[in-house]
Structure 1
Amino acid sequence: MKVILTIQLALLLSMAGCTQLPRTGDAIAHGSAASAGAAPATELTADSLFDFLMGETALQRNMPDVAVESFIRLARETRNPRIAEHATDIALRTRHFGEAKEAIDLWVALEPDSMHARQAAVALFVANGQLDNVRPHVEQLLKLEPETVDKAFMQINKLLSHHPDREAVLKLVQQLAASYPDLPEAHFAVSQAAWSANEFKLAAKAMNQALELRPEWEMAAVHQGQILQKIDKDKALSFYDQYLDRFPRANDIRIAYIRMLMEEREFDRGREQFQKLEQVNPSNPDIALAIGLLSAELDDLGSAEKYFKRALQLGFEDTNTIHFNLGRIHEIAQHNAEAMDAYLRVTGGERYIAARVRYAFLLAKRDGIAAARRYLKTVQVENEQQRTQLLMSEAQLLRDSGEFRGAYDLLDAYLRKYPDQVELLYDRALMADKIGKLDVLERDLRKLIELRPDNAHAYNALGYSLAERGLQLPEALALIQKAIELSPDDPYIMDSLGWVYYRMGDLKKGVNYLKLAFDARSDPEIAAHYGELLWMNGAKEDAEKIWQSALEEHPENELLLDTVRRFMK
């Protein structure tokens, strides 16, 4: 363990910035605990005694320059390793790196097998970025205790992590590892250094060599999977599959595999891996919840319900999250009574307000808007943000039922009372548009842009409104371009951009952007716009197909119906 401890200490020293000086010369008089009695006694001459006393006095008076100079000179004259060690310690602590190098060189020359001397040398040269000088000292450290070389290699990259030249670090680690071709940890260290240098193919090759020497090494396999993701995601997935075939109980690998599958949105395969993980950990509620969530994502509502309830039975701590998710899957399945019951079981936490809102929407379907609004007014809130959420939900209820004036009046009254609730400006602007208060729409959106200049939807809504009315089209284009800059992948903003180009007479650009929007999201209003531009561009059959498909899924969408009526009389 001494090699490991030495490298760890070297790391600490390399980062040390302590300037507090030792107060006594005990280390010189008695030697360090590790090497007491190892050095010959030194008879001090008058000059040496003077340097010793001057150094001690300088230490006591916090005069580091004088102390360092005195002890370096004393070490040079006496060639006593304890004095060289003490001079090194003072120079390193006070960041006199030039003098520290001289003291360390002398110390190493006097005690070439001293772990402490080698450790101090590594610390100094790493701190100064002198990797060429590091190598012989690390090699000697590795040789001093060969039984711990494996653990030492696992520390080497950490020791060198502060050096900015990652290619130089890689070269050094390769040189150090070359003497240990049969040591898995040596190849692991090379792989880590290559990873840091963005040499991913080399990193994969080195980690593969480590795994050939120790196939069951899960840590190496996890790293190999991460490396392969940088090179070829399919190869990474194949690697995980093959490794788990050989070592089916390698849970760390399976978790890494699942994480990658989630990133790639391979939910079906991810659920399969979670189920295999569950076979090994049948009493883990977290795994049951994860399988439930993936099942819901895959629209397997029966399995989702089963695993959510299993997570409850196994004692999953956050019951509110599970009840909320049970409510969602019941609502999707149109089991509204069960959904309402589940939502009411959410008694706190982050999902509390959302659960109460969903309950209100289902209540509106069952008992009407008035009952839902009365219920929302009974919900207890803890802060203004929650109160605002409930108000926005109440306005949404009114909007969904076509009561645009009621929604506008509700939002308007609240904003008059709480003018700082900028979140409501956007909603009031939309309702103002519905009831023809275009001055309010424009004023609210411009104010929102002023207050929240990164709000892409505000730019988009204002630009689209201007384009729809054929007003200030250059400004409308600039606003929507700003929105797309803030949110480049938003299909609704792409739709607006295509629409404003159409309004400006650039049909070709309009069609291109509407196609991008429609390919990203087959929304009925995007379909209405895209179909109109295709029709105007002469592709009437394509337009009819898009409209017909959209009508099958959204037969009551007003914009879509109006567009179809205008063109297919």
Structure 2
Amino acid sequence: MRELMSLSPLFLAMSLALPGCSTLTAGAPLAVQQPVAPAEAQQPNIRTQTPEQLAHTRAEIEKNPIYLIMAGELEGQADHLTQSADFYYAAAQNSDEVAILARAAQITLIAKRYDLAFKTAQRWVQQAPSSDKAAATLTVSALQLDNFPAADQALTQWLHRAGTNDTAVFNELGAYLDKNVPQALAIRYTDHLAQQFPNVVAAQLIVAKLELKFGRTQTAINAARQIIALDPSNETAYDILIVAMSQAGDQTGLIDALKLANRQFPNTDRYTTGLIEAYVRAGNAHQAGKLIEALLRKPIKDPAQLRNLALFSLQIERPTLAQKALLKLEKIPGQRNLAQLLLGRLAAQANQLNVAIKHFNHIAPTSDHYAEARILMAAAYAQSDDMTGALQSLDIALAAPIDVADKQRLTLAKAGLLQSQGLDQESLTLLTEAATLWPGTADIQLQRAMLLLKLNRSIEARDALRQVIEEDPNNAAALNALGFTLADEHINLNEAEQLVQKALTLEPDNAAYLDSLGWVYYRQGKLSEAAETLQQAFKLTPDPEIGAHWGIVLWHQNKPDEAKAIWQRALGLNPNLPVLQEAVKKFAPELLLNVPETDQ
């Protein structure tokens, strides 16, 4: 009994089902036992096995495919894939059942035991010669073993079983190569496929797609061209060729590929639109214009295409063509408001301000473009020196039943408009009311803080910026603004540096933030770091304020000639900038003599 107790429950359960191990005789009726006196009680007649017999029984069970499969499933459920593969492989070795062979091949393949998968798949193919899944498993397991001859032989069998549906075979093989094979091996076998099946469209198509995904544009181009030679009507091949040419940066090859596709598929507008874009990028405005004119003579129902045509027309400086595209867009259901917005922008660019205002005014308050249109309308009125009209256009919109985000955008626009007219106090009142109405709106708080700084109310400005940062610790604009303000006022310089450094962590290539950091370094007396940082900022964005700061640092480094050269460049960008004017007047006033009197 001790020997039985040492066995696993699974082993014990199966052993009791084997001949010679049952406690009941098969087929014997159950007799009702008569009660006997306790003294005459009988001992149960349980047959036990010797250790040798138990060892034999265990060995017999461990050869049983059912036991091996159950053990494999239990190991698999425990994520012990290697052990699961071993059990399933052993089950397959002891069985000719196709279902067991198929399951064993699947498990060994998943477990990446490719040697076992290959051997199992070989037996599966023998037992089920018409199974395409068996041939597929044999192909990929041979491939994983880097055994290309065996993979080729299995692939030939797979294709034979698939009959005329070779596309499905190559698609499945391509997906496996893409997702399950190490890229170096996948690239080698993809090149091998290209050589083995040079005249099979389905094979070359998979080669082209994989090569494109692997970033091997030239081999993708070669495969795409081969497909087009074999099947000139294969649209996918043209798409691959176009994408590969674009990724390779071959502008001439891209144009040739698009022209080829356009000739083969003259009614496929995306090829024509792509060719127009390629001509625009190549600077061939004449050919782009001709194609746009040709397209606009046709009925176009795709809004995106019409928007693209309008954009391309503007890029080649053909506003009349852009207008034609937008007038067509306006006639498409659901596109009228967008068309009016774009027509208004077009008129404003042409300085036809009254026309622009009319277009913007046609946009319904229910449109997603309403707030933007009203802001642009206000700008057009302001450009026409009609501030009353500008403010009224915004007030009408603010009174309309629009969502909160649009009301906030309009409020910011109105505050900016008031500031542009020198009405700083009115702007501050508006922003303070908005900040009370929408306390969690960072943009409003930021604009209010900047205005407070302009009005020399820095304590309130710093409080507003700290409030923004408290609500959003990763607001880079607020971090930078507070850091620069502290540095400019020469207080809490360590905190200022930390704030600006954090802003740069969020936006490392922001020239304004680099300018702030350079100014912090200057205030800390770190002139070398300041000059290096400001030089980097000015290189990213040649801004006159950055130039003013950089010149000040250079001057304090005893480099007056370099400082003057930078200030001269900055004056050329904006001679009226107050911070620049102040620096030049203090250190090199003679530079202002060369600035035209009207610009001072």
The question of a shared fold, defined as TM-score above 0.5 by the shorter chain, is answered with: yes
Matches within 5 A, 1:149-298: 149=166, 152-211=169-228, 213=230, 217-231=234-248, 233=249, 235=250, 237-249=251-263, 250=265, 251=268, 253-255=271-273, 272=289, 275=292, 278=295, 282-286=299-303, 287-297=305-315
Q: CA deviation at 1:440?
A: 2.0
Q: CA separation in 2, counterparts of 1:489 and 1:274?
A: 39
1:22 maps to none
Among candidates 394, 397, 416, match of residue 414 of structure 2: 394
Aligned residue identity for 1:309: L
CA deviations 1:69-88 (Å, max 9, x no partner) are 99999998895xxxx33444
2:355 maps to 338
Q: Is the 8 A contact 2:105 2:120 kept in 1?
A: no
1:26 maps to none
Q: Residue 161 of structure 1: SS of its match in structure 2? A: helix
Aligned residue identity for 2:402: V
User: What CA RMSD, in Å, does the superposition of the two structures yield over aligned residues?
Assistant: 4.5
CA deviations 1:511-555 (Å, max 9, x no partner) are 55445544544545445545656776324663464245334xxx7
Given the alignment of the two structures, is residue 537 of structure 1 paired with residue 555 of structure 2, yes or no? no
Q: CA deviation at 1:436?
A: 1.8
Q: CA deviation at 1:242?
A: 2.2
2:402 maps to 381
Structure 1 length as normaliser, TM-score? 0.71
1:305 maps to 323
Tell me which moved more, 497-506 or 93-102.
93-102
Q: CA separation in 1, counterparts of 2:317 and 2:485?
A: 37
Q: CA deviation at 1:239?
A: 0.9
Q: CA deviation at 1:400?
A: 1.9
* Unaligned ranges ≥5, structure 2: 1-64, 77-84, 594-600
Q: CA deviation at 1:193?
A: 3.2
Among candidates 437, 448, 458, match of residue 428 of structure 1: 448
Cα gap change, 1:539/1:114 in structure 2, threshold over 3 Å: closer, same or farther? closer
Given the alignment of the two structures, is residue 486 of structure 1 paired with residue 506 of structure 2, yes or no? yes
Q: CA separation in 1, counterparts of 2:333 and 2:539?
A: 40
CA deviations 1:463-510 (Å, max 9, x no partner) are 221222233334333333332332233332233334444444555655
Given the alignment of the two structures, is residue 546 of structure 1 paired with residue 566 of structure 2, yes or no? no
CA deviations 1:310-363 (Å, max 9, x no partner) are 3224x2642222211122222233322222221122223432221122233444
Q: Is the 8 A contact 1:187 1:209 kept in 2?
A: yes
Q: CA separation in 2, counterparts of 1:520 and 1:70?
A: 64
Among candidates 98, 106, 114, match of residue 85 of structure 1: 98
Which has the bigger relative contact order, CA under 8 A and spacing at least 6? 1
Cα gap change, 1:561/1:305 in structure 2, threshold over 3 Å: closer, same or farther? farther
Aligned residue identity for 1:375: I
Q: CA separation in 2, counterparts of 1:484 and 1:63?
A: 53
Cα gap change, 1:291/1:491 in structure 2, threshold over 3 Å: closer, same or farther? farther
Cα gap change, 1:558/1:63 in structure 2, threshold over 3 Å: closer, same or farther? closer
Q: How many residues align?
A: 498
1:410 maps to 430
Matches within 5 A, 1:444-463: 444-463=464-483
Cα gap change, 1:270/1:510 in structure 2, threshold over 3 Å: closer, same or farther? farther
Matches within 5 A, 1:509-528: 510-526=530-546, 528=548
2:371 maps to 353
Cα gap change, 1:63/1:489 in structure 2, threshold over 3 Å: closer, same or farther? closer
Q: Is the 8 A contact 2:519 2:549 kept in 1?
A: yes
Q: Is the 8 A contact 2:296 2:325 kept in 1?
A: no
Aligned residue identity for 1:333: A
Q: CA separation in 1, counterparts of 2:507 and 2:306?
A: 36
Q: CA separation in 1, counterparts of 2:88 and 2:526?
A: 82
Tell me which moved more, 416-425 or 145-154.
145-154
Q: Is the 8 A contact 2:88 2:104 kept in 1?
A: no
1:14 maps to none
Q: Which has the larger radius of gyration?
A: 2
Q: CA separation in 2, counterparts of 1:343 and 1:507?
A: 51
Aligned residue identity for 1:194: E
Given the alignment of the two structures, is residue 108 of structure 1 paired with residue 125 of structure 2, yes or no? yes
Structure 2 length as normaliser, TM-score? 0.68
Q: CA separation in 1, counterparts of 2:462 and 2:285?
A: 46
Q: CA separation in 1, counterparts of 2:493 and 2:88?
A: 80
Aligned residue identity for 1:85: V
2:492 maps to 472
Aligned residue identity for 1:168: L
2:386 maps to 366
* Unaligned ranges ≥5, structure 1: 1-53
